[in-house]
Chain A
Amino acid sequence: MINWIPGTYCSELLTVSLFRPGMGEFKVHRVRFFNYIPSGIRCVAYNNQSNRLAVSRTDGTVEIYNLSANYFQEKFFPGHESRSTEALCWAEGQRLFSAGLNGEIIEYDLQALNIKYAVDAFGGPIWSMTASPSGSQLLVGCEDGSVKLFQITPEKIEFERNFDRQKSRILSLSWHPSGTHIAAGSIDYISVFDVKSGSAIHKMMVDRQYMGVSKRKCIVWGVAFLSDGTVISVDSAGKVQFWDSATGTLAKSHLIANADVQSIAVAEQEDSFVVGTAEGTVFHFQLVPVASSSTEKQWVRTKPFQHHTHDVRTVAHSPTALISGGTDTHLVIRPLMEKVEVKNYDAALRKITFPHRRLISCSKKRQLLLFQFAHHLELWRLGSTVATGKNGDTLPLSKNAEHLLHLKTKGPENIICSCISPCGSWIACSTASRFFLYRLTYQHDNLSLKRVSKMPAFLRSAVQILFSEDSAKLFVASNQGSLHVGQLLEGRFRHLHTFQPQSGTVEAMCLLAVSPDGDWLAASGTSAGVHVYSVKHLKLHCTVPAYNFPVTAMAIAPNTNNLVIAHSDQQVFEYSIPGKQYTEWSRTVQKQGFHHLWLQRDTPITHISFHPKRPMHILLHDAYMFCIIDKSLPLPNDKTLLYNPLPPKSESDVVRRRTAHAFKISKIYKPLLFMDLLDEGTLVAVERPLDDIIAQLPPPIKKKKFGT
């Protein structure tokens, strides 16, 4: 037995060295107190041209997923308290608009990742918005019952005219594919407008009856106008109804739920559509022939899917998949098996719950974790233990984790990014319009916080913040594509240099990595590849050859200055910065290819780190696994077992050596939001169990198990 002197930081280090860790033996701080709740999904909008999906959440955040790049969340726009998004649509090709209850129509700048402009529609809260089939016009439905038409100009949008004002709010809108008519869902009725004259030509009353009982109101949550003149409506009485817009009559009605049907989306070919209900069920309807030889077709409810526990607020229909999202915060992408040509892993169901970016940073030196929430930051100090144990043991704590700080931002804007310096004395965070830098001082158990004043005026909004390893430099990626380098000295910030973006581009740099020696800075945008800057000489050093898939994480290894880059297609590259080329190992990996199970993982790698004493190791993780790649070992081929959860028992050393391969994987911690090496033998893992999230959501519609 070894006697321990508990308490001090130094003794902890001693512990580890005496621990004599083997190939990969760690003490793991398993953290589950990151009380992160994703916001519910309000709208999804699919763009066929770019195969991208825009998702808006109830806190106003808008995320862009690239469905071609393994469903990677490549961009996001931070939320805003007063900006609840009620409608989201793509227009004019790839321009993204949203509208919400503050009455404004917003256009997003997908390059600079900020809001281009906001236009007040002057109709009260906006409930619905749709782009014309040609994409050149926008239509919004307002609280005051007005339907307003806007012309999209290259730079802005211009109000054109109002349609006939209706009695109550316009909750849903749909444009006839020919652009001549629109359908508008309101409370208790659906109106059909002639676009040219702007007058309502039909008013179709929706039955309020619900299971024989007259409800107070019947809200038409969604409408869809088909090219044959059929209007499909979904309403709060649980009905999906088909109307003939030429005569204004009800053609067919399906009662599909005991609760509201809240969303509808039609496939471009108009041969199938999808609806989502408040019971969490998604129904697929398809246009199928009445008899197999006849040409007469009818809409048939074909498949129900229950991937949600709560309201499905929104659905979308891509050519190959049904997409749904709702209050339970999951984005579900359900490929239609009959439309998927290759039955590979793309045909599997995707459930995206967590953001594909880091919300956590850690100070290794002081064993601190900084958690980023929408409107505040939390600082925690990890606990400690003096005990040892074998694999799987839970060690008794000599000191529990401690909540040190709750830092609330002022203003309605959500926090975009945050970072704590490795030494633990600096915290930086940014919203869409303000940049904050705090200086922390520790005196025994007391912690004092001071905001650094006199920040340069150009530091207003950051997409990514990073401290150098020695905490002496601060790197800030602004949303205009420029990178600011500042020096931190005696509690002050001094601007050193700004790397301007390549001429002509304004693409924001979403990911930053700095070498441990502080000489190199790597920055990656969403598409333009990775740029490596020399911090010493303050100039661009090189650009890593462009790759088709976006970068999900990157880091620079100590000593060798090899840049390790993970892409959304699960490829990992190692690029030597001094040599300006891919390393030998990276070439070998590319030649042999990754294990098929590695490539089939469906969450991106979000963090990469290195072991200070083991230069051959790369540590990385995604939401469901943590992996150490040992470059000295042979790569696994498709026949070898990639992941073996069982520890070896009595196998001889020979067998173990023969079956050993470069990938050491652990799937104990999940869903894993963050994992990093604190020191040689200590890891910190931040988990966010789904049950804890569900427990904090409003209760779903209760379905009785017994009786009726």
Chain B
Amino acid sequence: MATLEEEIALSTVVLGAGPDGLLGVEPTDKADQFLVTDSGRTVVHYKVSDQKPLGSWSVKQGQVITCPAVCSFQTGEYIVVHDNKVLRIWNNEDVNLDKVFKATLSAEVYRIHSIQGTEPVVLFKEGAVRGLEALLEEPQQKIEAVISDEEVIKWTKFFMVSKHPVLIFITEKQQQHGNYFAYVQMFNPCTLSKYTLLLGEEEKTVIKNFTASVDRKFICLMSLSSDGCIYESLIPVYPSDGEKNQKVVRSLLLKTVVSGSAQKSVALTILDQNHVAVLGPPLPASKECLSIWNIKFQTLQTSKELPQGTSGQLWYYGETLFMLHGKYLTVIPYKCEASSLAGALGKLKHSQDPGTHTIPHFVNWETSQGCEPGSQNSEQSKRILRRRKTEVSLQPEVPASTQLLLNIKKDSEKHIEIELRKFLALKQTPDFHTVVGDIVAGLLGRCKEEPSFYPRNCLMQLIQTHMLSYSLCPGLLEIALEKTDVQMLQLCLQQFPDIPESVTCTCLKIFLSIDDDSLREIDINMESVSDYNDTAQDENMEEQTGILQNGFSSEEDNCNSCDPELNQKPQDATQATTSCPVIPQRAALLNAILHSAYSEIFLLPYLKDIPAQHVTLFLQYLYFLYLKCSKNATMTLPGIHPPTLSQIMDWICLLLDANFTVVVMMPEAKRLLMNLYKFVKSQISVYSELNKIEVSFRELQKLNQEKHSRGLYSIEVLHLF
């Protein structure tokens, strides 16, 4: 359920917020701190939780800031443009903007974009795009015009799409309102695609605000039109070659979220997959409101009245919404928990405190205190700082893990894998444990965000460091289960000592239900499975049963007499033992289950959920293993790390305990049950004999002791040297 939390008002005394509102609010490299640029001359650095400015900078009288200040996530420096062409770069220590690094560009800048994971990019008013570094190398370079003269950029946004930066900007033809174009700029290779936005029937409307989100293939552009409705257009990220001027249609998403006749500007921003925030008056006469809409269910989730009026601007970073409310910059934390039945019933625990969400899921002990990211930007003049950036990337030792963690957030699977391999090859530091945990948490976090992202090889490598456990990364098995990645599941079962029984059982279900053909294609670790179809020893086995049962010949066993069917088909019985009921791949997977640790009480309820034919199959396999075991005198299976006899027996018991009523009704399980019954009976008699022998031995031992003990009294010679 989406909720707006208590708002925080930041004083704007230092800001010269005009009637047009602010130029922009931009995030910095620190989670809680933001750069606010007013429409005049001032940039203020706010720490939201402290509700106070940390620093403020102004340009000289006569100059005017034309583009909101941003923070470079790579260097921690701030960048602003004043008078359209003058670029300034500074950091926290600088006092006077006049004295900081300055570069005069040859064209007018529209916006500078800076997001986590890539260098800032500069969008010029004529549509050209440059990376900041490239631009600074030659500030006076020629900037080409990309868009036609009559077009004006209305809105722009910068994304990371699976590690690649993508810039989108919307232009509008100045003379003819209602003609909109979308440009998608890709970097390396640098491609620009142009799309014409078709407004459909509502040709007359003017789009008042845009917002966009991105998934793997499409940019989902939402627009708030002057009729108060929200429309959605899907723009492909990767240009389909061929057509030069492509067209994008838009479809109605939400109807009349704001009053159509609103004079003031309205704003819109996407919060997550299902939620958007809309700023504007819901009814013509009403005051302005911030409302959260669920677009999936087309419902209003929550709203907040803003009686003092806003500037019609809305920013959303992390989990906070920013807007200008009256004279104050208002910060409203927004939270949306996935709705679930448990949540509805009030049983969902708040798994995390709101303040701790950035902390990784394990204790850092004393080791990881030193490797806080982003603490390297400090003092010095900008030139040195600029050089330092390159130095940092050359020094792998301190932030190797930090760097890797950063890479995880943005890089491609391939790249992460190479980086990870490099990292694992490094000497293991004392905090290796924590770092490995961090990395997995990072990877899983990204998996959750991007459904397509599944760095299988990386995860496999990390599991094999033997440093992970289920409790350290519960999400890992969850994802592997989701993807039915049996190979990963097998590895986890082998490596993790603490998998909960419910998960073990889910794995078992998958292992039993996956079909043979797809199993054959998967590369499964088969070392626990020796050649089960080996028939050479069959004859030995017949002879050895006598020894095994400790003198209890099954022929004499009276259960045979009550089981004519079994007696009639002795050959069938031997046949059943010779062939493994499952293919070796499945056997290897099932062996992984047999090896996993469990507690009976917790496992039993889950075992009941397994379908009957799967239970029978598993039982047959277990019985086969048992027979295989009994083939040699040591009661072990061949192969490396095979299941032990007691594991096999325990699982047979557990399965029967959980599913007996079902299995007993199945005709195909009848033979199996008969065999097991016979076996148990002989086992009981063996044990009772063993107990008898144990008692006799104890008596013998007592006699022996008495003989050995020196009696109650003796005289001995002692020589102390």
Q: Which residues of A pack against B, CB within 8 Å? A: 22-33, 291-293, 383-385, 388-395, 397, 400-401, 628, 644, 647-648, 656, 664-666, 668, 683, 689, 691, 704-707
Within the complex, which residue of B684, B691, B714 is in contact with A704, where a contact is CB–CB below 8 Å? B691
The A-contacting residues of B in range 465-505, CB under 8 angstroms, are 471
Known: A291-B471, A293-B359, A395-B715. A707 touches B720 (CB 8 A): no
Known: A33-B712, A291-B471. A22 touches B691 (CB 8 A): no
Give 7 closest A-B pairs by Cβ, nearest first: A24-B720, A707-B687, A391-B719, A33-B712, A706-B690, A292-B363, A664-B720
CA distance A401 to B521 in the complex (A): 84
Q: Which residues of B pack against A, CB within 8 Å? A: 356, 359-363, 471, 684, 687-688, 690-691, 694, 705, 709-721
Tell me if B361 and A291 are in contact (CB < 8 A).
Answer: yes
CA distance A29 to B360 in the complex (A): 70
Question: How close is A198's CB to chain B, nearest CB, in angstroms?
Answer: 38
Tell me if B721 and A394 are in contact (CB < 8 A).
Answer: no
Tell me if A28 and B362 are in contact (CB < 8 A).
Answer: no
Contacts of B690 in A (CB 8 A): 705-707
Main secondary structure of the interface of A (DSSP, over half): loop
Within the complex, which residue of B356, B691, B694, B715 is in contact with A27, where a contact is CB–CB below 8 Å? B715
Tell me if B720 and A400 are in contact (CB < 8 A).
Answer: no
Within the complex, which residue of A25, A26, A293, A656 is in contact with B363, where a contact is CB–CB below 8 Å? A293
Tell me if A292 and B720 are in contact (CB < 8 A).
Answer: no
Tell me if B687 and A390 are in contact (CB < 8 A).
Answer: no
A-B contact pairs, 16 of them (CB 8 A): A25-B717, A26-B717, A31-B713, A32-B710, A293-B362, A385-B715, A392-B717, A394-B714, A395-B715, A401-B713, A628-B720, A644-B721, A647-B719, A665-B720, A706-B694, A707-B691
Contacts of B356 in A (CB 8 A): 293
Within the complex, which residue of A25, A292, A393, A704 is in contact with B362, where a contact is CB–CB below 8 Å? A292
Contacts of B362 in A (CB 8 A): 291-293
Question: How close is A647's CB to chain B, nearest CB, in angstroms?
Answer: 6
Known: A705-B694, A707-B684. A394 touches B712 (CB 8 A): no
Known: A292-B363, A394-B710, A394-B714. A25 touches B691 (CB 8 A): no
Q: What 7 additional pairs, Cβ within 8 angstroms, besides A392-B718, A394-B715?
A: A23-B720, A33-B713, A668-B718, A691-B705, A705-B694, A706-B691, A707-B687
CA distance A644 to B721 in the complex (A): 9
Question: How close is B475's CB to chain A, nearest CB, in angstroms?
Answer: 13
Tell me if B719 and A22 are in contact (CB < 8 A).
Answer: yes
Known: A291-B471, A707-B691. A383 touches B719 (CB 8 A): no
Contacts of A389 in B (CB 8 A): 717
In the complex, which residue of chain A has the Cβ closest to the Cβ of B364?
Answer: A293
CA distance A691 to B719 in the complex (A): 27
CA distance A392 to B684 in the complex (A): 50
CA distance A489 to B99 in the complex (A): 115
Tell me if A23 and B687 are in contact (CB < 8 A).
Answer: no
Known: A292-B362, A293-B356, A293-B361. A706 touches B687 (CB 8 A): yes
Within the complex, which residue of B471, B712, B717 is in contact with A28, where a contact is CB–CB below 8 Å? B717
In the complex, which residue of chain B has the Cβ closest to the Cβ of A689?
Answer: B709
Tell me if A390 and B717 are in contact (CB < 8 A).
Answer: yes
Within the complex, which residue of A291, A400, A656, A707 is in contact with B713, where a contact is CB–CB below 8 Å? A400
Tell me if B715 and A29 are in contact (CB < 8 A).
Answer: yes
Question: How close is B699's CB to chain A, nearest CB, in angstroms?
Answer: 13
Within the complex, which residue of A25, A27, A388, A401 is in contact with B720, where a contact is CB–CB below 8 Å? A25
Contacts of B717 in A (CB 8 A): 25-28, 388-393, 395
Known: A23-B721, A664-B721, A707-B684. A383 touches B713 (CB 8 A): yes
In the complex, which residue of chain A has the Cβ closest to the Cβ of B694?
Answer: A705
Tell me if A397 and B715 are in contact (CB < 8 A).
Answer: yes
Contacts of A628 in B (CB 8 A): 720
Tell me if B711 and A32 are in contact (CB < 8 A).
Answer: yes
Known: A292-B362, A706-B691. A24 touches B713 (CB 8 A): no
In the complex, which residue of chain A has the Cβ closest to the Cβ of B437?
Answer: A292
Known: A647-B719, A647-B721, A664-B721. A707 touches B361 (CB 8 A): no
Interface-centre pick from A395, A628, A656 (highest chain B CB count, 10 A):
A395
Contacts of A291 in B (CB 8 A): 361-362, 471
Contacts of B710 in A (CB 8 A): 30, 32, 394
Tell me if B691 and A705 are in contact (CB < 8 A).
Answer: yes
CA distance A27 to B715 in the complex (A): 7
In the complex, which residue of chain A has the Cβ closest to the Cβ of B360?
Answer: A293
Within the complex, which residue of A26, A384, A644, A704 is in contact with B718, where a contact is CB–CB below 8 Å? A26
CA distance A25 to B719 in the complex (A): 4
Question: How close is A384's CB to chain B, nearest CB, in angstroms?
Answer: 8
CA distance A383 to B694 in the complex (A): 39
Tell me if A25 and B687 are in contact (CB < 8 A).
Answer: no
Question: How close is B558's CB to chain A, nearest CB, in angstroms?
Answer: 20
Within the complex, which residue of B359, B360, B714 is in contact with A30, where a contact is CB–CB below 8 Å? B714
Question: How close is A462's CB to chain B, nearest CB, in angstroms?
Answer: 31
CA distance A665 to B712 in the complex (A): 24
Question: How close is A699's CB to chain B, nearest CB, in angstroms?
Answer: 12
Contacts of A705 in B (CB 8 A): 690-691, 694
CA distance A400 to B713 in the complex (A): 8
Tell me if A648 and B721 are in contact (CB < 8 A).
Answer: yes
Question: How close is A218's CB to chain B, nearest CB, in angstroms?
Answer: 19
CA distance A401 to B361 in the complex (A): 73
Contacts of A648 in B (CB 8 A): 721
CA distance A28 to B713 in the complex (A): 10
Tell me if A392 and B716 are in contact (CB < 8 A).
Answer: yes
Question: How close is A21's CB to chain B, nearest CB, in angstroms?
Answer: 9
Contacts of A397 in B (CB 8 A): 713-715
In the complex, which residue of chain B has the Cβ closest to the Cβ of A29?
Answer: B715
Contacts of B709 in A (CB 8 A): 689
Question: How close is A528's CB to chain B, nearest CB, in angstroms?
Answer: 36
Tell me if B715 and A383 are in contact (CB < 8 A).
Answer: yes
Question: How close is A75's CB to chain B, nearest CB, in angstroms?
Answer: 33
Tell me if B712 and A32 are in contact (CB < 8 A).
Answer: yes
Question: How close is A201's CB to chain B, nearest CB, in angstroms?
Answer: 28
Contacts of B688 in A (CB 8 A): 707
Interface-centre pick from B709, B711, B719 (highest chain A CB count, 10 A):
B719
Question: How close is A294's CB to chain B, nearest CB, in angstroms?
Answer: 9
In the complex, which residue of chain B has the Cβ closest to the Cβ of A395?
Answer: B715
Contacts of A401 in B (CB 8 A): 712-713
CA distance A385 to B717 in the complex (A): 11
Question: How close is B509's CB to chain A, nearest CB, in angstroms?
Answer: 27
CA distance A618 to B326 in the complex (A): 97
Interface-centre pick from B471, B688, B712, B718 (highest chain A CB count, 10 A):
B718
CA distance A276 to B711 in the complex (A): 36
In the complex, which residue of chain B has the Cβ closest to the Cβ of A389?
Answer: B717
Question: How close is B500's CB to chain A, nearest CB, in angstroms?
Answer: 14
Tell me if B716 and A393 are in contact (CB < 8 A).
Answer: yes
Tell me if A666 and B687 are in contact (CB < 8 A).
Answer: no
Question: How close is A28's CB to chain B, nearest CB, in angstroms?
Answer: 5
Question: How close is A300's CB to chain B, nearest CB, in angstroms?
Answer: 12
Contacts of A390 in B (CB 8 A): 717, 719
Tell me if B718 and A25 are in contact (CB < 8 A).
Answer: yes
Contacts of A707 in B (CB 8 A): 684, 687-688, 690-691
CA distance A27 to B720 in the complex (A): 11
In the complex, which residue of chain B has the Cβ closest to the Cβ of A19?
Answer: B717
In the complex, which residue of chain A has the Cβ closest to the Cβ of B713?
Answer: A401
Tell me if B471 and A395 are in contact (CB < 8 A).
Answer: no
Question: How close is A44's CB to chain B, nearest CB, in angstroms?
Answer: 32
Contacts of A24 in B (CB 8 A): 718-721
Contacts of B715 in A (CB 8 A): 27-30, 383-385, 394-395, 397
Contacts of B684 in A (CB 8 A): 707
CA distance A350 to B177 in the complex (A): 91
CA distance A293 to B365 in the complex (A): 10
Known: A293-B362, A706-B687. A28 touches B694 (CB 8 A): no
Contacts of A395 in B (CB 8 A): 714-717
CA distance A401 to B711 in the complex (A): 12
